[in-house]
Structure 1
Amino acid sequence: MLAFVGFTFFAQAQQILQGIVKTTDNTPIEKATVTVDGTKTATSTDANGKFTLQIPAGKTKITVRALGYALTQKTISSDFKNEIEIILEKDDYKLEEVVVSGSLKQVSKLDSPIPVEVFTAKFFQTNPAPTIFESLQNINGIRPQINCSICNTGDIHINGLEGPYTMVMIDGMPIVSGLSTVYGLNGIPQALVERVEVVKGPASTLYGSEAVGGLINIITKTPTSAPRFNVESFGTSWQEYNLDVGGKFKLGKAQSLLGANYFKYGNPEDKNGDNFTDVTLQNRISIFNKWNIDRADNKLFSVAARYVYEDRWGGEMNWSRKFRGGDEVYGESIYTKRWELMGAYDLPTTENFTFTFSLNGHDQNSAYGNTFYIANQKIAYGQLTWRKEFGKHDLLMGAAYRYTYYDDNTVATTEASKTHLPGFFVQDEITIHPQHKLLLGARYDYNSIHGSILSPRINYKWNSEDRTQVLRIGVGNGYRVANIFTEDHAALTGARQVVFVDNLKPETSWNGNINYIKKFYMPGGSVFSVDASAFYTYFDNKIIPDYETNVNQIIYGNLEGHAVSKGVSLNIDWAHSSGLKAMIGSTLMDVYSVEEGIRQQQMLTEKVMGTWTIGYNLRRHKISFDYTGNLIGPMKLPTLGENDPRPDKSKAWSIQNIQVTKQFNNGWEIFGGVKNFLNWTPTKGGIEIISRSHDPFEKIDDPNLLPFDTSYVYGPNQGARGFLGLRYNLL
């Protein structure tokens, strides 16, 4: 009788709570965990995002967690409705975010021995841009660098290292490299981007050459996870227009993802009064198609292709196509045709073998004034990996082969270059303890021109028992083979003569880094995390362009001494259940070279930078506000000697943006705001960017005049502009 009374009392003291967990765009979230605070009572959502949970009578607090989403807490009152709706927001810095770039397998960000930063499509939507290149400007430690004030080519700096040290991949394939370094980040349809993974520091053990400074891996959506149809379009007050369209369909056992991007800017502007276009005019189209084929045992078979065509020009305001390649009116006109094919296939074996491949071709027809640069590059890449788990070991072995064909019309290329690069790597991830992991790896490559190259690395990771703290320590070796003309367009534009000092040797580097992450779950439903890193890289044979020895030349040669890149970075992320969130980061770095006892600060490299993304979401009204920006410290600039009136050091500068987004129930969004609302440009204070802009072909015979020079540029030359756009997703 007593037991029956006790059971009756318990049943009356319990209530049944039902609900659904969804994303901000109404997509159900499967396998979200719903927990009653202060108890061990928990459940998971089903494929439709629904859950049922017993909760105590009276006022109760529940916590909802899901992989890749910000933790959300909700208080259930005594008069609660039987069914509730819980909305989770993407957490761009979540410890549990799934990553692949660190170890070539899908693991949570927490479990990866390599520190990998993850940025979702939602993060990039806080400051929409027509290219991934521009979108990266709000990531701490990364800076898109514009290298030419006329053609606006650029590269990506990671922790102060120039673009050629950064490998850019699409779905893990080394697509963007060599000749495409300065253009390959254009034309990737952002509507198809699932996330971007960033690894800072050498990744040569797994990825080979060009990953000395780090890598950027652009992960596209899968046909299963992508919406059935989506479109995003926006325009600016500078008359820039961008359109992204994507969709998916099924054909038998195959699922396909199709997307296209079109960007046009055809309105010449000369707001600084130098008779040159402030921003390069562009007409670009890109098409991307990805296929996933269903196979037995869930084996992978994926194939994707991309095609990009771009026509861009910049120069004197009265330039037109009839002046292309002549010496009457100066212009820089670049035609680019690029195709890519990539895929992954799991072999039909009981062992875990995967073959990945990529092919790409890049044709470039450029005219820099009356100097033509005609180049063609083709790259074939194949890699076979074998993964085996036994005991505490996760062994990865792989063999890779890369063939590069390159030819151009410059005097430095007397015949087409054909480079063979076979390689072999092995990696062992050892789980010493559930809280301790050790990663040992080594790679051997044989370059047909430069011979044998060995790249070892070691990484250690510790995480706390409650998985709120992570410590990573890593040491690695990297190497890089340089191709000047494919990487540095300062060698082609302007009037300087290019000079090579002997044959350029491959660069080698040693890198050490420490990374610590701590996450706090605060009262009131807020989450606070700290991500701190320290890095040090030592270079031998570093190739540094010399602008100063002779103002009429750019001299390339291997450094006789050594070079160093070192620094610390800090990211602070905070999110509150009210809808307020902030991501703030800063990096302090010192990048320099030492030759014959003389220390030189690296050109075009800041000592301090900061980034921020602050947002507030009015969920009830489905309106969000985003304030993004960066702050870049002073840097040394490539002047033309003592007679150059332009400062040899920049002042600190900042690009800041604001945006308002309104969501509607039918899948539509409207967004708008102001980019660079401080109206900053490098010409602030009357500074001239282009030397001798009145005589670009140097026809005036005056030895007192400085040469025509376009390499003095360090930031975007585009002032404030409003923008307005629409976004639609059909799930």
Structure 2
Amino acid sequence: MINNHGGQMSFRESERSNQYDSWGMKQEINRLELWSKLGKVSKRPGTSIGSQVLLLYHDQQSYFGRKDYNGTQKGLYANIIYQGILGNSNHGFKTGINYQLDDYAEHYADHLNSRQTDTVFMRAESVPGAFFEYTFSLLDKFTLVSGTRVDAHDKFGVFVTPRLHIKYAIAPQTVVRLSAGRGQRMANILAEGYGAMSSSREFIVMGATSQYAYGLKPEVAWNYGLNFTQKFRLDYRDGYFSTDVYRTHFTNQVVADMEQDPRQVLFYNLNGKSFSNSLQVQVDYELIKRFDIRLAYRRYNVQTTYLSGQKLKPLTSKDRAFVNLSYRTRSYWQFDCTLNWQGPKRLPSTEQSPEQFRTNEESPGFFIMNAQVSKTWNEKFEIYLGAENLLNFKQNNAIIASQTPFSEYFDASMIWGPVFGREVFAGFAVHVKIKRDRKGRG
């Protein structure tokens, strides 16, 4: 359950319908999930059958100024999985059937100034499917997993989703992993465009071909990945070096375009290129006994084709770096300090705004430091003291046109950094262990 309220101090929810000088928001979310797993292991080695069932209910009631968004999702997911071996234990497989049913009901209203948008979006998705996965393993040196699933969407037809994973130990301390696959989904533009509701931007769907799923096509993407992990020993202490390279490219994507007009968000199907490339390098090492360090750097290149051309994804850093220091004593004291650096982020264009409401083309880079000290007794009781954003960095003037929250240029969604300064916290935790008998009963 989530129950958030915010806005100006002068805002009164009871007077919202007639209040135009104070801005407020509310977000109430109730979510219930019921999960069941059943299985039976056969006397034959490596053979079993099982089933999984998930029931989901999600209800969201919210408003942002003069905008209302209420949504409900009811979902069912069920599958049956059979696992066995082919000939010998080097060859294994999994196969089964699955079914997914989702029922969405959304209400969106925008009564800002002269707008009178009041729309209900309803859709149900029924997707039966089947899958098969083959695994080949050779000791601990080589593993190949290849699989395909076929889903029959009741509105968009058949989706075929292949995937491939390969793990190869070049040497006892050196491992390479490769992956590739395809994925698809239906975009929920209102729930996913939630942040932009904290603005005066008008939501507009372009190129709608039907009333189903906002009139937009499913998103389809291909993913590729490479991981290299090297374990090393330096000065009698173990360390790890890893590199990850990933690429995702969309054959179709639902684009949320905030570039054309600072008073609008446009939603439409991709017409051009959209991709994400990432590179991450990480080193873990124990400098001295019980004193560990982790260093990481990540490079992002995320671009999408908008109506105005191909651009970097807004509010996303191209470069990030991370340092973590952790020290623990024999008397169960734990000291942790983390320093994050986020590079500059491109900001959505505000060229068409009046000069006083324009922003820079990109944000500055900044550091965030967090630290925590904790003490544990008998692995049962723990106290801790810590601080977030120790350097007290804050985004200045985070809200555009904050003095006129119902004007057409008001925008509280252009957040690229912390809006709160240094925060100190303290607390305690009690850890309870439940003893189980040999049959797993508590």
Q: Is the 8 A contact 1:407 1:413 kept in 2?
A: no
From the CA coordinates, give the structure whose radius of gyration is larger: 1
Which of 376, 383, 392 is the equivalent residue of 1:663? 376
> Counterparts of 1:652-731 in structure 2 under 5 Å?
652-665=365-378, 667-683=380-396, 688-698=397-407, 707-731=409-433
Cα offset for 1:416? Answer: 2.5
Question: Matches of 1:665 and 1:432 in 2, distance apart?
Answer: 43
Letter in 1 for 2:61: N
Aligned CA distance change for structure 1 residues 571 and 463 (closer, same or farther; 3 Å): same
1:673 offset after TM fit, Å?
2.2
Aligned mate of 1:560, from 248, 271, 295: 271
Note the aligned Cα RMSD (angstroms).
2.2
Q: Distance in 1 between matches of 2:306 and 2:375?
A: 56
| Partner SS for 2:190 | helix
Structure 2 contact 257–306 (Cα < 8 Å) conserved: no
Specify the SS of the correspondent of 1:693. Answer: coil
Is the CA contact (8 Å cut-off) linking 1:520 and 1:527 kept in structure 2? yes
Specify the code of the residue in structure 1 equivalent to 2:31. Answer: R
Measure, in 2, the Cα distance between the counterparts of 1:730 and 1:480: 40
Say whether 1:372 aligns with 2:372: no
Kept in 2: contact 1:657–1:674 (CA 8 A): yes
The residue matched to 2:191 in structure 1 has which SS? helix
In structure 2, the CA distance between the partners of 1:678 and 1:434, relative to structure 1 (3 Å rule), is: closer
**Match among 158, 173, 189 for residue 452 of structure 1:** 158
1:327 touches 1:370 (CA, 8 Å); kept in 2?
A: no
Give the aligned partner of residue 430 of structure 1: 136
Q: Select which of 324, 339, 350 maps to 1:613.
A: 324
Larger strand proportion, structure 1 or 2? 2
Give the drift of 1:719.
Answer: 0.9
Pairs within 5 Å for 1:577-592:
578-592=289-303
Q: Is residue 319 of structure 1 aligned with residue 11 of structure 2?
A: yes
- AA paired with 1:638? P
**Inter-partner Cα distance in structure 2 for 1:653 and 1:347:** 53
CA separation in 2, counterparts of 1:414 and 1:663? Answer: 53
Instruction: Measure how far apart 1:480 and its partner are.
Output: 2.2
Q: 2:97 corresponds to which residue?
A: 399
Contact 2:273 2:310 in 1 (8 A): no
Confirm or deny that 1:488 pairs with 2:186.
no
Residue number in structure 2 paired with 1:603: 314
- State the one-letter code of the partner of 2:218: P
Alpha-carbon separation, structure 2, partners of 1:415 and 1:655: 40
Q: CA deviation at 1:493?
A: 3.0
- Pick closer, same or farther for the CA change 1:567–1:348 going to 2, 3 Å: closer
Amino acid paired to 2:395:
P
The answer for the alignment partner of 1:355 in structure 2 is 51
Structure 1 residue 641 corresponds to structure 2 residue 351? yes
Q: 1:581 to 1:666 in 2, by over 3 A?
A: closer
CA–CA distance in 2 between the matches of 1:412 and 1:341? 33
**What is the CA-CA distance between 1:665 and the residue it aligns to?**
4.1
SS in 1 for 2:256: coil
Distance 1:403 1:656, change over 3 A: same
CA distance in 2, matches of 1:546, 1:443: 32
Q: CA separation in 1, counterparts of 2:307 and 2:196?
A: 26
For residues 488 and 589 of structure 1, do their structure 2 counterparts lie closer, same or farther at Cα, with a shift above 3 Å needed?
A: same
**Is the CA contact (8 Å cut-off) linking 2:259 and 2:308 kept in structure 1?**
no
Tell me by how many angstroms 1:599 deviates: 2.8
Deviations, residues 557-592 of structure 1 (Å, cap 9, x unaligned): 112111121121111111256110112211112111
User: Residue in 2 aligned with 1:70?
Assistant: none
1:325–1:369 Cα contact (<8 Å) kept: no
SS of 2:420's equivalent in the other structure is: coil
Contact 1:325 1:371 in 2 (8 A): no
Match in the other structure for 1:408: 106
Per-residue deviation, 1:366 = 1.0
Q: Matched residues in 2 for 1:404 and 1:615: separation?
A: 44
Q: Are 2:332 and 2:376, in contact at CA under 8 Å, matched by a contact in 1? A: yes
Report 1:487-506 matches (<5 A).
487-502=192-207, 503-506=215-218
Find 2:124's aligned residue among 397, 409, 418: 418
Cα distance in 2, alignment partners of residues 709 and 655 from structure 1: 25
Question: What amino acid is the match of 2:35?
Answer: M
CA pair 439-722 structure 1, distance change in 2 beyond 3 A? same
Range that drifts further, 664-673 or 562-571 = 664-673
Aligned pair in 2 of structure 1 residues 597, 484: CA closer, same or farther (>3 Å)? closer
| Cα deviation code 1:380-437 (max 9, x no counterpart) | 1111111112322110112111111111222685452111111212111112564122
Secondary structure of 1:697's aligned partner: coil
Aligned to 1:310: 2
Q: 1:603 to 1:527 in 2, by over 3 A?
A: same
1:379 & 1:716 partners in 2: Cα distance? 35
Cα offset, 1:321, TM superposition = 3.1
Structure 2 counterpart of 1:333: 26
Which TM-score applies when normalising by structure 2?
0.87
**Which residue number corresponds to residue 238 of structure 2?**
527
Q: Is the 8 A contact 2:105 2:121 kept in 1?
A: yes
Q: For the Cα contact (< 8 Å) 2:255–2:306, is it kept in 1?
A: no
SS at the partner of 1:528? Answer: strand
Higher mean displacement: 529-538 or 639-648: 639-648
CA distance, structure 2, for counterparts of residue 419 and residue 730 of structure 1: 42
Q: Distance in 1 between matches of 2:193 and 2:226?
A: 31
The secondary structure found in structure 1 opposite 2:14 is: helix
1:479 aligns with 2:190: no
Shift in Å, 1:354: 1.0
Aligned twin of 1:47? none
TM-score norm. by structure 1 comes to 0.53
Is there any run of 5+ residues in structure 1 with no aligned partner, and where?
1-308, 699-705
Query: Using the alignment, how far apart are the partners of 1:375 and 1:626 within structure 2?
Result: 40
Q: Could you tell me how far apart the structure 2 residues matched to 1:316 and 1:607 are? A: 34
Per the alignment, in what secondary structure is the counterpart of residue 410 of structure 2?
A: coil
Cα distance change of structure 1 residues 442 and 325 upon mapping to structure 2, 3 Å threshold:
farther
Q: How many residues align?
A: 409
In structure 2, what residue type is equivalent to 1:388? G
2:63 partner amino acid? A
| Shift of residue 471, structure 1, vs aligned partner | 0.5
Does structure 1 residue 343 correspond to structure 2 residue 36?
yes
- Please report how far the alpha carbon of residue 377 of structure 1 lies from its aligned counterpart in structure 2 after TM superposition: 1.1
- 8 Å CA contact 1:541–1:558 kept in 2: the answer is yes
State the distance in 2 between where 1:637 and 1:323 align: 35
Letter in 1 for 2:244: S
| Separation in structure 2 between the aligned mates of residue 407 and residue 730 of structure 1, nearest angstrom | 41
Query: 1:339, 1:596 → 2: CA distance?
Result: 40
- Residue 729 of structure 1 and its aligned partner are, at CA, apart by 2.5
SS of corresponding position for 2:51: strand
Change in CA separation of 1:324 and 1:337 when aligned onto 2, cut-off 3 Å: farther
Q: 1:337 to 1:325 in 2, by over 3 A?
A: farther
**Which consecutive unaligned segments of at least 5 residues does structure 2 have?**
109-116, 208-214, 434-442
TM superposition shift of 1:372: 2.1
- Classify 1:532/1:421 alpha carbon distance in 2 versus 1 (closer, same or farther; 3 Å): same
